[in-house]
């Protein structure tokens, strides 16, 4: 037998959400926001619950499950939710960045020009948190529509050098020479020879 507030959702979605919030039925609130495609509110609500309610301390939605659920009904919404997770105030927990990256790599596999912003975001997030993951993405040529100047700056800060344009290669040779790292100069020079 269903509880009375579960019956309310069939009649009035807004009223059901208000009841779930008052009853502190956190999983139901999160599910209601997901159903309404109000993904930003999931993150805001989850943070408020963890900070305010002593009985709900430690509650954290299963973000990977939410991503998979959202993906079935709204692929673009799932991508947006993954990006919102990565930009959570106070930082996204590192394991969620890995999950979100794996999810986004799968979604962005077709390597379409309209995904340029998302490709850039995935690379930005990983260059800051997991440079080796960004290095692997770039080395494997998984993306080709990202913001190259922006990613080049972040790569240089992370000590990664992925270039195919001659002016960039020359600049990196000078930059690396100033740092005195002979090994990278040799590798970049060899790459330059093969380009010419």
Question: What pLDDT does residue 134 have?
Answer: 93
As a whole-number percent, the residues of the chain with pLDDT over 90 amount to 14
Q: What is the structure's pLDDT at 176?
A: 59
Mean per-residue pLDDT for 21-35? 82
**CA–CA separation, 10 vs 12, rounded Å?**
6
Radius of gyration of the chain (CA): 22
Q: What is the pLDDT of residues 39-62, one digit of tens each?
A: 888 878 877 765 544 344 456 677
User: For 77-91, how does the pLDDT look when each residue is reduced to its tens digit (9 = 90+)?
Assistant: 777 787 777 676 555
What's the pTM? 0.59
């Amino acid at each position: 037998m269903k509880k009375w507030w579960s019956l309310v959702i069939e009649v009035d979605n807004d009223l059901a959400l208000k009841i779930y919030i008052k009853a502190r039925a956190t999983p139901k609130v999160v599910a209601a926001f997901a159903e309404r495609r109000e993904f930003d509110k999931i993150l805001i609500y989850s943070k408020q619950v963890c900070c305010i309610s002593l009985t709900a301390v430690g509650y954290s939605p299963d973000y990977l499950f939410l991503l998979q659920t959202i993906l079935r009904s709204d692929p673009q919404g799932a991508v947006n939710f993954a990006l919102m997770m990565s930009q959570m105030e106070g930082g996204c927990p590192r394991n969620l960045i890995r999950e979100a990256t794996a999810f986004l790599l799968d979604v962005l596999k077709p390597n379409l020009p309209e995904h340029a912003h998302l490709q850039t975001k995935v690379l930005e997030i990983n260059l800051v948190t997991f440079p080796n993951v960004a290095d692997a993405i770039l080395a494997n040529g998984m993306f080709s529509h990202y913001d190259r100047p922006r990613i080049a700056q972040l790569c240089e800060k992370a000590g990664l050098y992925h270039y195919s344009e001659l002016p960039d290669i020359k600049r990196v040779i000078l930059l690396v020479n100033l740092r005195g790292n002979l090994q990278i100069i040799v590798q970049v020079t060899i790459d330059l020879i093969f380009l010419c």
